[in-house]
Amino acid sequence: MVMTKSISRRIPQRTCVACRQVKPKRELTRLVCVSDGVIEVDTSGRKPGRGAYLCRNIECWKAGVMSNRLDYTLRATITRENRERLMNYSKDLAGE
């Protein structure tokens, strides 16, 4: 009798800042606070800096970006211009 090992890979899990649902990392969008205090979308998921995750749902983006949830999680103060830029990115996500 030959036994084969089944290797199961662990899928990284992250929590959405807005809805608090735990999902696979690849289903979420990472936002990162870069050194100059600007919040950017991290498409690669590997930029250095403090990160936070949001679902690809427009409601989560509104809740996360327009409230102080991202400010608190990223330990940064997000400017109005930066918030507008992030919301414009979320509108592109909704169009996908």
Tokens of 4: 């084969």
Tokens of 2: 């030959």
Per CATH, the number for 13-95 is: 3.30.1230.10
pLDDT tens series, the chain, 96 aa = 566 667 788 999 999 999 999 999 999 999 999 988 899 999 998 999 999 999 999 999 999 999 989 999 999 999 999 999 999 999 888 665
- What is the C-alpha separation between 48 and 61, in angstroms, rounded? 22
Let me know: does 31 contact 51? Beta carbons within 8 Å: yes
Quote the pLDDT of residue 84: 95
Quote the pLDDT of residue 8: 82
Quote the pLDDT of residue 92: 85
Tokens of 71: 């400010």
Domain ranges of the chain: 13-95
Distances (CA, A) of 47 to 40, 52, 92: 10, 12, 21
Quote the pLDDT of residue 1: 59
Quote the pLDDT of residue 41: 95
Quote the pLDDT of residue 2: 64
Q: What is the pTM of this model?
A: 0.86
